[in-house]
Amino acid sequence: MAMPLLNLNNVSLYCPPDAEEILLIERSILLPLALAAVERNRLDLDRRARSLRAIFAKAADLIIAQMKTDLIWNTKLLISMGITVCIVSTLDGKLSYRYNFRGFEQQVDWTSEYIRNEINKLISAYNAAIFSKDVHSSH
């Protein structure tokens, strides 16, 4: 599909994303990976009998539900902003993604170690959010 001539010289169409938009792009990559990790751990909880299994399972269920909600919200924002993100390759311990934002295209390459660290940070943030609810707000 051809671009309208009016947009041909529109410099704003080719500007790189700002910091907030980069965060949306990064979340679109990391959140599904973190969600898959939590879901795997949740299934593992069902296989093991522990005295606190029910508590851990409930926490995992809450994290999964919130991650799914956030993933839907993030995806809707990306779509509304016209940002597309797709995986390019997974070679040599690296994941490569390409994003397109108003005609600006960039490739992001992350090592497996970096992704693992970011997934752990993301899961920790969700975990902290669950247990940091203000229980004294009923006063």
pLDDT tens-digit map of 44-56: 887 876 677 888 8
Q: Is residue 138's pLDDT more than 50?
A: no
Q: Is residue 133's pLDDT more than 70?
A: no
Residue 92 half-sphere exposure toward CB, CA atoms < 13 A = 3
- What pLDDT does residue 69 have? 97
In angstroms, the CA 112 to CA 19 distance is: 23
Q: Is residue 4's pLDDT more than 90?
A: no
In angstroms, the CA 58 to CA 51 distance is: 13
- The H or E element that residue 98 is part of is strand 94-101
- What pLDDT does residue 74 have? 96
- What pLDDT does residue 47 have? 81
